[in-house]
Amino acid sequence: DNVDLGDLMFSLCYLPTAGRLTITIIKARNLKAMDITGASDPYVKVSLMCEGRRLKKRKTSTKRNTLNPVYNEAIVFDVPPENIDQINLSIAVMDYDRVGHNEVIGVCQVGNDAENLGRDHWNEMLSYPRKPIAHWHPLAEVR
């Protein structure tokens, strides 16, 4: 049941003094092809979640016709230090379609409520403030 949907590399960086959380979407690899052509037009949508509610969302540009897009795009959220423990980031790699609606290729989560790597990456970010920490995250199917 474990379909290989590809991996996403991003870095997390938190500046407690400024209350700024930066996620830099670096690149993705081996994305699952969503189009008949055997490619996808991927972009990344990042949602700032608090207790299951979406507070803010931002997205990257769309990269045409590739399964290995490179973004290097930083997305900044304002998160005061007293709230950082209640926050999760929900990250979805989407396939842009001119016709119909955009499809989700795969998702990953980081934050206190995330599991495994998502939580480890988050804790590493909190342990080393002001330092961008980058990891590859395998994409999962939307539950």
Q: Quick one: tokens of 117? A: 């790597």
Q: What is the pLDDT of residue 37?
A: 84
Q: What is the mean pLDDT of the chain?
A: 95
CATH class of domain segment(s) 6-139:
mainly beta
**Distance (Å, rounded) from C-alpha 24 to C-alpha 47?**
13
**Distance (Å, rounded) from C-alpha 124 to C-alpha 108?**
17
Q: What is the pLDDT of residue 2?
A: 54
Which of 40, 74, 39 lies closest to 59, judged by CA?
A: 74
Long-range residue pairs from 98-103, CB within 8 A, at least 24 positions apart, any chain: 103/34
What's the pLDDT tens digit per position in 53-90?
999 999 999 999 999 999 999 999 999 999 999 999 99
Q: What is the pTM (predicted TM-score) of this model? A: 0.95
3-state class (DSSP) for residue 21? strand
- pLDDT of 1 higher than 70: no
What's the pLDDT tens digit per position in 17-43?
999 999 999 999 999 998 788 889 999
Q: Quick one: tokens of 131? A: 């330092």
